[in-house]
Amino acid sequence: MKKWWQEEVVYQIYPRSFQDSNGDGIGDIPGIISRLDELKELGVGIIWLSPVYKSPDADNGYDISDYRDINPKFGTMSDMDNLIKEAASRKIKIVMDLVINHTSDEHEWFKKSRDKNSPYRDYYIWKPGNANNKPPNNWTGFFMGSVWEYDEQSGEYYLHLFHKKQPDLNYHNPKVIEEIKDIMRFWLDKGIAGFRCDVINIIYKSSFANGKKALAIRGLEHYKSKEGTHRILRELRRDVLDRYDCFTVGETVMVDLDEAKLLCDNERKELDMLFYFEHLEVDRRIARYVPKKFKAKKLLAVLAKWQQGLEWNAVYLENHDQPRIVSHYGDDSLYPERSAKMLATMQFTLGGTMFIYQGQEIGMTNFDFDELSQLNDVESHNIHALMKKIGIPRKLRWEWIKTASRDNARTPMQWNGEAMAGFTSGTPWLKINGNYQKINYQEQKERSDSVLAYYKEVIAFRHNNDVLKYGSFTPVFAKGSVIAYRRELDGDNYLIILNFSKKPAKAAFKGSLVLSNLGRANYDGKLAAYEAVVMKCER
Ligand code: ISL
Ligand code: CA
Distance 318 CA to ligand 2 centre (A): 24
Which residue has its alpha carbon closest to ligand 1 atom 7? 321
Over the stretch 34-60, which tens digit does the pLDDT of each residue have? Answer: 999 999 999 999 999 999 999 999 999
CA distance 499 to 332: 15
Relative to the CA of 322, which ligand 1 atom is closest? 1
Residue pair 503/471 in contact (Cβ under 8 Å)? The answer is no
Ligand nearest to the CA of 23: 2
Q: Is the CB of 99 under 6 A from ligand 1?
A: yes
Q: What is the mean pLDDT of residues 200-229?
A: 96
| pLDDT score recorded for residue 464 | 86
Q: Is the CB of 279 under 6 A from ligand 1?
A: no
Q: Is the CB of 200 under 6 A from ligand 1?
A: no
321, 377, 401: which to mutate for ligand 1, most atoms within 8 A of CB?
321
More confident: 144 or 478: 478
Q: Is the CB of 379 under 6 A from ligand 1?
A: yes
Relative to the CA of 378, which ligand 1 atom is closest? 17
Over the stretch 347-389, which tens digit does the pLDDT of each residue have? Answer: 999 999 999 999 999 999 999 999 999 999 999 999 999 999 9
Over the stretch 113-168, which tens digit does the pLDDT of each residue have? Answer: 999 999 999 999 999 999 899 999 999 999 989 999 999 999 999 999 999 999 99
CA distance 159 to 141: 10
| Residue 432 predicted with pLDDT over 90 | yes
| Residue 287 predicted with pLDDT over 70 | no
**Residues annotated as catalytic (active site), given as ranges:** 198, 251
CA distance 28 to 72: 9
| Residue 329 predicted with pLDDT over 90 | yes
| Residues facing 481 on adjacent strands | none
Q: Is the CB of 57 under 6 A from ligand 1?
A: no
Relative to the CA of 321, which ligand 1 atom is closest? 1
Q: Is the CB of 253 under 6 A from ligand 1?
A: yes
Note residues around ion ligand 2 (Cβ under 5 angstroms).
20, 22, 24, 26, 28
| pLDDT score recorded for residue 216 | 85
Residue pair 488/500 in contact (Cβ under 8 Å)? The answer is no
63, 99, 107, 142: which to mutate for ligand 1, most atoms within 8 A of CB?
142
CA distance 237 to 172: 18
| pLDDT score recorded for residue 144 | 87
| Residue 394 predicted with pLDDT over 80 | yes
Distance 128 CA to ligand 1 centre (A): 28
Coil, strand, or helix at residue 356? strand
Half-sphere exposure of 502 (CA within 13 A, CB side): 8
198, 203, 319, 376: which to mutate for ligand 1, most atoms within 8 A of CB?
198
| pLDDT score recorded for residue 539 | 67
Distance 453 CA to ligand 1 centre (A): 31
Distance 496 CA to ligand 1 centre (A): 32
Over the stretch 300-316, which tens digit does the pLDDT of each residue have? Answer: 999 999 999 999 999 99
Distance 202 CA to ligand 2 centre (A): 33
Average pLDDT, the chain: 97
Kindly tell me the burial class for residue 442, based on how many C-beta atoms sit within 10 Å of its own C-beta (0-12, 13-18, 19 or more). middle
Vertex 536, ends 531 and 537: CA angle to 5°?
115
Residue pair 292/284 in contact (Cβ under 8 Å)? The answer is yes
Q: Is the CB of 321 under 6 A from ligand 1?
A: yes
The dihedral built from the CA positions of residue 44, 47, 48 and 51, taken in this order, carries a sign that is positive
